[in-house]
Amino acid sequence: MVVGTRGDLPRLIEAWRARLELADPERDIAAGESVGARLIVPGDVEWPTQLDDLGTARPYGLWLHGDADLRFSCLRSVAVVGSRAATAYGVHVAAEFGATLGDAGWTVVSGGAYGIDGAAHRGALASASPTIVVLACGTDVDYPLGHHDLFRAVRDNGLLVSECAPGVRPTRSRFLVRNRLIAALSRGTVVVEAALRSGALNTAGHAESLRRPVGAVPGPITSAASAGCHRLIREGRAVCVTNADEVVELVGVIGDDLAPRRRGPVLPRDLLSEPMRRVLDAVPAGVGAGPATIAVAAGVDLPTVLSCLGGLAAAGYVERHRRGWRVRPDRGR
C-alpha cells in the first residue's frame, strides 16, 4: 500500500486494525476446506518461487482450488489477457492461442473475466494442459456468475487462485491488485485486445516492471478495442505476435523455442533457377524479342539465354513468336 502523506498513516492504521478485529483465520481455513480449497504460503512445496520477484508486494499466501499443482503448472506458463468487451476477432484469437499453447504444453494464465480471459481459458481447456484463473474474490465465489460452468471445468483441469479468503466478494481495487499475480505467475504476458483504458494494460505494466516479456496482438487500425495493443507496440513496450508459435518464441527459452519462419505459398516460378528467373523477367509479354535482346536485358550471355529459353518453353512459360520470344499469354507475369 502506498501512503500519500505522513498524516494518512494514523487513519490507515485504524482501518487495518478494524479489519484485523474481524479476521478469523481458523474460520477461513475451515471454510476453504469445506469447499475443497487449500492455502499455501511461501516455503511450501507448491509455492511458485517466481512470486518472490514481487518483493514487498509478494502475497502472504494463496488459496487454491483445483487438481493441478501451482508450482509445476507455472514452470511453462503464459498470461493471455484482454478486454471484457471483446470483439469476435479478439475472442477467436484468444481461444486459438489458448488451445494451441495448451497443445504445446504451456499453461494459460488469465483472470477469468468475460471476453478475452474467458475465451483463452476455454481454448486451454480443449487441450491436455492446465489453465489457471486468478480471481479478485474467494475461490468459492463465482464472479462473473455467468462463468460458473467455466470455473467448475477449471477446477477439474487447472486451478482457481486467489489472495482472498473464501467468501470474499470482488471490488474494483482487488481486480487491479490481482493483476500483479497474473503477470508474476507467468513467464510473459500477451495482450490480445485492449482499449486505451483497460485492465489488461495494467497487467502488461506489471509484467514490464518484473522484466517479463510482453506481447500484443495487432487488430484493425480503426478498432478502438485494439488501440491499447497498438500503443504498446508503437511505444516499443510490446512485441507484435500473431500466432501461438510467436508467443512461445517470446516467452520460451532463447534458441530453443524459435517460431518457424512464415512465408507465402510456394509458386512454380519460385522453383526456377536464378538464371531462368532473370531470363523470364527479360522476355516481353506482348511482341517478341530476339535472344540477343533478351540477353542484354537479363544481364547474361547468349548461350545462357538460349539454354534457358529452351527450358522455359518446355515448362510452358514462353513461346516462339514471329518476332522472337514472348511470354505465353495464358501465363502472364
Whether pLDDT at 24 is above 90: no
* pLDDT on residue 10: 80
pLDDT classification of 263: cutoffs 50, 70, 90: low
Q: 91-116, pLDDT tens digit by residue?
A: 999 999 999 999 999 999 999 999 99
Q: Can you spell out the DSSP letters for 69-137? A: -HHHHTTTEEEEEE-SS--HHHHHHHHHHHHHHHHTTPEEEE---TTHHHHHHHHHHTSSS-EEEE-SS
pLDDT classification of 260: cutoffs 50, 70, 90: low
Strands 239-240 and 214-216: parallel
Mean pLDDT of the chain, nearest integer? 89
* pLDDT on residue 208: 96
* pLDDT on residue 6: 59
Q: 56-90, pLDDT tens digit by residue?
A: 999 999 999 999 999 999 999 999 999 999 999 99
H helices of the chain, in order, are 8-22, 25-35, 70-73, 88-103, 116-125, 148-156, 172-185, 199-209, 227-234, 244-251, 274-282, 291-298, 302-314
Cα(77)–Cα(186) distance, integer angstroms? 5
* pLDDT on residue 228: 97
**Nearest residue to 129 (alpha-carbon basis) of 148, 101, 150, 152:** 101
Rounded to two decimals, the pTM is 0.77
- Contact status, residue 249 vs residue 273, Cβ threshold 8 Å: no
Whether pLDDT at 1 is above 50: no
Mean pLDDT of 171-197: 94
* pLDDT on residue 173: 87
- 144's CB contacts (< 8 A; 6+ apart) are 112, 113, 114
Percent pLDDT > 70 in the chain is: 90
* pLDDT on residue 2: 43
pLDDT classification of 30: cutoffs 50, 70, 90: confident
* pLDDT on residue 3: 43
Cα(21)–Cα(15) distance, integer angstroms? 10
Q: 185-215, pLDDT tens digit by residue?
A: 999 999 999 999 888 999 999 999 999 999 9
The enclosing H or E element of 240 equals strand 239-240
Q: Cell 542484354: give the residue.
A: 296
Higher-confidence position of 89 and 28: 89
